[in-house]
A and B are shown apart, each in its own frame.
Chain A
Amino acid sequence: MKIQYHSLGKTVVLIIVLIVTVYIIYSGHASKLPAELGSITLLAFLMAVLLGIAKTTTA
């Protein structure tokens, strides 16, 4: 797999999001959040909506 370095900023943000999410879940803080935020099904449907909208940007 070829690594490209031009999107370093985005990569850093994604890694931070990844680390923070893992930390929140594994530290037990996730249990203090509303249950809906941790719902995989809800997130899947949200992603389906976002994906549909995002695909509009394809020429």
Chain B
Amino acid sequence: MIGTIGSLVQGITKYRQWLVATSIYIIACSSTSVLLGIFLGLIGYLVQHLVGNSFVRAVSEYGKVLVGVVAIAYAFSDIGVIRLPRPRALHAVPVSWWRKWRPYGASIAYGAALGVGITTEVQFGAFYVLCLWCITQGNIAYGALLIGTYGVSRSVTILPASWIVYKQSTDSIQAFNKLLDARGAAKFIMAIGLILFGVLVLSDVVL
């Protein structure tokens, strides 16, 4: 992600262009994340309101158990112990967008596409767990806030990256070699988070 997105501002010479391109990316990415959260929350809401109360209570409990188990399973999958399916819409966002529309059109396109989360390889199982959690909550506002938080966090991290590319006029992959090497550590930290989350959710049902 950082390789493609960091390149958005490559070749840009004016500060204003950098600011606009980066801001457009952040807004587009955050917006589609919020929309995804609304969609997931809406699915849960509809399920809860289309069926009876007793059924909803049972589904909600089973849903939490499912989220807990999936969280723990993806924690082990993230560190390579087991293999689990990682559904996605695209393998990666097309590099051609950058060539065709950079900087502004590409900023919108990449931001909007990446905010959805499944338009690149999903290496962190936490994404699926959070999506599933939004559905089980059945709360549109909660879904929008939670997935929106992910989108804002994901998009804002582009700021230091694109700033370095802009200031040093360097290739983004070259500039972020060390960051890309940290993927293993990032997966491990997320795996620990998933374990804690999974146990907490399961204990909420059992206790």
Give the nearest-CB partner of A45 in chain B: B149
- What's the tally of chain A residues with a CB closer than 8 Å to chain B? 35
Provide the bound-state CA to CA distance between A43 and B155, in Å. 20
| Chain A binding surface, main DSSP class | helix
- In the complex, B173 has a CB within 8 A of chain A: yes
Q: Which residues of B contact A40 (CB under 8 A)?
A: 197, 200-201, 204
Partner of A14, one of B1, B127, B192: B192
Provide the bound-state CA to CA distance between A40 and B194, in Å. 11
Q: Which of B12-20, B42-50, B72-80, B98-106 contacts A (4 or more CB under 8 A)?
A: B72-80
Provide the bound-state CA to CA distance between A17 and B193, in Å. 10
- In the complex, B170 has a CB within 8 A of chain A: no
Q: Which residues of B contact A22 (CB under 8 A)?
A: 199, 203
Taking beta carbons and an 8 Å cutoff, which residues of B are in contact with A? Answer: 1-3, 72, 75-76, 79-84, 120-121, 123-124, 126-127, 129-130, 133, 145-147, 149-158, 161, 173, 179-180, 182-183, 186-197, 199-201, 203-204, 207
